[in-house]
Structure formats: C-alpha cells, structure tokens
Amino acid sequence: MIEVSPITDEPHNGRRIKTVIITVIALTLAFSLIVLKPAAPKEITLLTGLEGSNDHELGMDLAASLEEEGLHVNVQSTSGGTENLHLLIAGADNTVALVPSSLEKVLSESKDTSQLVSLGSVTFQPLWLFYRNDLHIQRVSDLAGHKVALGHEKSAVGYASRFLLDINRIANQVESDTVLDQNPAAVSGALQKGDIDAVFAIGKSSSAYVSALLSDEGIAFLSFDRADAYRSLSESISKIRVPEGVFDIARNIPSRDMTLLTVTTNLVTIDTFNPAAVPVLLEAVSRVDSQHEAFEVDRSFPNAKNVTLPLAKAAIRYYNQGKKGLSKVLPYKVTRWLNHLGFVVLPLLTIVVVLLKILPLLLKVQASIKFNRFYKKLEMIDKFCASGADPLLIHREVDLLDKATADFSVPRSMREQYLNLRQLLYDLRDRLPKI
C-alpha cells in the first residue's frame, strides 16, 4: 500500500479554516461596533423660544432630565415657533422643536411641511389678557382703540393673540408695540406704569411677570367667557377653569371663578428623526410634567390631543404601548447600544456566519474540480504508456502528477477519493518500464 502524504493531514486544514472564521468574525464585530455607530443619536438639538420664555424654561428642564438618561441636548433659543418650523423645514437633523399647535398653518404656501411630524402635545400654558383696572374690558373685542402688547409674532403668545384679534375683527383697531414684545418683563412693567393698556401673556401663575401682574391691584385679567367658541375655531386652543381665590386665598384672587384659554405646545420634528429616541424624549416630558397649576385637572403630558400635524409612528406606538422591553429598566445610553446590537451587529454576524458555513462547500467544489483534472491527467498518461510513448517523458509526467497530488489539501469528506487517486498513481508507476 502506498504511504499517505502528510500534506493531506486534515487537522492542519481544519485549523486554518477555524482561524479564518475567527478572524472574519472578529473583524466584523470591530467594524460594526467601532466603524458603524448606533443610528440612535447620542446628542440632539432642542429649539425652544426666547430666553426667559416658558418654552425655553421647559427646554432647559427637558435637557436636564434627558442628560440623566445619557442623551445630551443642545438647547437653542429662538424667536419662537415660526422660526423653529423654518429651521426644521430647512433640514435640521437630530432636531426637535417646541411649536404651538396649528402654527404650521400660517406658513406661506411655498414652505413644504410634508416632512414635519408631531411627537404629541407636551404642555399647555395659560393665555392671559391683563389690562388696566380702570378700563372697561369684558371681551376681547373691547380692546379696539387701545394700545396692546401682543407678543412676538413668531411666538406662541403672538400667534394666539393675533388669532383672537382676527376672529373678533379688530386686528386693525389695536395698536401694538413690537419693541416691547421682545421682553415679557418689560411688557409687564409698561402695563403697570400705564404706558400700555393691556397685554397678552403666556405663562404659569408662578412665573415672575405673571405673578407680579396678579398681585398688582391696578391690574385685572380677563375671563374668556366665550372660551368654548374659541376652542371650536382653533385646534391649538383649549380652556381651563380658575377657581375663586386659587392664586391668593387671603386677598381672594381671583374674586370669582374665571375661565382662561390655554395654548397647547407640541414637540415637532421631521419624519427622518430616529424612532429609538422618541420614547426617551416623551418619558422626559412625563417627568418634567410634575409641576401643574393649582387649577389644572385631568391633564397629563405627553399626549396625542390637540395635535394638528401627523403623529410620528414611534409616538403612536409609545401612546399605545408605552416603553417596551429593556428600555423600561435601562437608561437610553445602554438601550441605544442594545438596539445597535440587535438591528446591526447580530444581523451582520448572521450573514458572516452563513457565508462562512458555505466556505467548506466551496472548498469541496474546488477540490472536486481538481480531482477531475488529476484523473484526466492520469488517464492521459496511461494512454501514452499503452501507445509506447517515450518512457522518459512518461516518467516525467508521472513525477509531476505525483507532486501535484501530494501538495493538494484534501477536505476530510474526500479523503477516500484522494487515497484511491494516489493508489492508482502508484500502480501506474509500478507498470512503467524501468529507465
């Protein structure tokens, strides 16, 4: 029997394949974890409003809450909701904005709002109409002929106040000071000094300028007795009941039950915003929504009410199902990488493993092709030998075939074929004439 060549030893070939597999998997892991970063952002921008405004304060509170989850927020102050929408439409990536409901409807027709989506209502703020007590103001229409601070036209208060003037058909009968509109504290001071007759304001009763106006005996605020009508005309406006004495029991402020309008603020982004970041954003809103006005009842944020833009799919899932899976117990900075592992790393590894499983099959096909060539060569030499060809030439061909088969790495499943080939080659050499 012919002695088997050590070149065909399977352990050597198996170790080489295992080394290739381990190397490829290691490189795949390194590529998917180091080069391919998680799609979920680790940093976003939040567009708010003027510094000192309620929207800006809300943005700062959200940023502090999200920082604890591992999501860094760059709070960017703006002139208000209109500017925020323009920035989003311009294509701001990883950006969300605080925008009053319905504000997108006042944009020019040249602006494409189709990419805008809402993540839901995140807060509502009381809309106040403060006026000098010596004036006879019982309805919004009574502001005709007076000097009124309406708020910056791009802000929530500016949008709401101008809406009220328009539907009461007195927009051209009211004088507005646009310089004062830039600073809520300056507006309240001007009203207290008598430089203006009335002011629209948005803010909590605890905010500095609202609290100052509530405490001033020379200043009153309007009860919007037609609140239901206003609410039916605008999806962004709602109403709240203010009980008698709720702001100051001792001084009985207000002296009777009142009705205020509220403006709902949405969290708006573009439809390419990564859905993995949506639940953590809305959870932060829920945590921040813990300091309510004393007269607010049965209202919790975030919610899907008073939303005039299409609701993002990720937001719909959140409102229907809440937080899911490990995100209930793990911070965002961990689930961000877990999502990357589940949606990128594992599928990529699966593909690599499948391809590596195919590798032995490819090697076997390659070996079969070589075997066919060896057998054809062996058959040709045998025919040369039978035809009486030059023995020296035949010996040289046998030596070349012997060397080629000896250097051939054989898969374990084809070892028997290899041994048969070597045996046939040995038998052929034995039949050759001596030289």
**Can you say how many angstroms the Cα of residue 226 is from the centroid of all Cα atoms in its chain?**
40
- Residue 371's nearest CA partner among 395, 336, 405, 342 is 405
Please report, as a single letter, which amino acid is at residue 426: Y
**HSE-CB of 425 using CA atoms within 13 angstroms:** 26
Q: Are 224 and 250 in contact (CB under 8 A)?
A: no
Please report, as a single letter, which amino acid is at residue 51: E
**Can you say how many angstroms the Cα of residue 156 is from the centroid of all Cα atoms in its chain?**
25
User: Is pLDDT at 170 greater than 80 in this prediction?
Assistant: yes
Distances in Å between the alpha carbon of 172 and those of 103, 147, 176? 21, 12, 10
62: confidence class by pLDDT, cuts 50, 70, 90:
very high
CATH superfamily label, 43-329: Periplasmic binding protein-like II (3.40.190.10)
260: confidence class by pLDDT, cuts 50, 70, 90:
very high
Residues 6 or more apart in contact with residue 433 via CB below 8 angstroms: 391
Position 95 scores a pLDDT of: 95
Proportion of the chain above pLDDT 90, given as a percent:
28
142: confidence class by pLDDT, cuts 50, 70, 90:
very high
Q: What is the mean pLDDT of residues 38-62?
A: 84
Q: Where in the chain do CATH 3.40.190.10 domains reside?
A: 43-329
User: Is pLDDT at 411 greater than 70 in this prediction?
Assistant: yes
Q: What is the mean pLDDT of residues 361-382?
A: 83
DSSP 243: -
195 is written with which tokens? 């430089």
User: Is pLDDT at 28 greater than 70 in this prediction?
Assistant: no
Q: What is the mean pLDDT of residues 402-411?
A: 79
198-202 and 258-270 beta bridge pairing:
unpaired
User: Is pLDDT at 160 greater than 70 in this prediction?
Assistant: yes
Q: What is the mean pLDDT of residues 416-422?
A: 83
Position 325 scores a pLDDT of: 60
User: Is pLDDT at 294 greater than 80 in this prediction?
Assistant: no
Position 396 scores a pLDDT of: 86
Q: What is the mean pLDDT of the chain?
A: 81
Q: What is the mean pLDDT of residues 294-299?
A: 55
Q: Are 264 and 58 in contact (CB under 8 A)?
A: no
Q: Are 88 and 116 in contact (CB under 8 A)?
A: yes
User: Is pLDDT at 135 greater than 90 in this prediction?
Assistant: yes
298: confidence class by pLDDT, cuts 50, 70, 90:
low
Position 152 scores a pLDDT of: 76
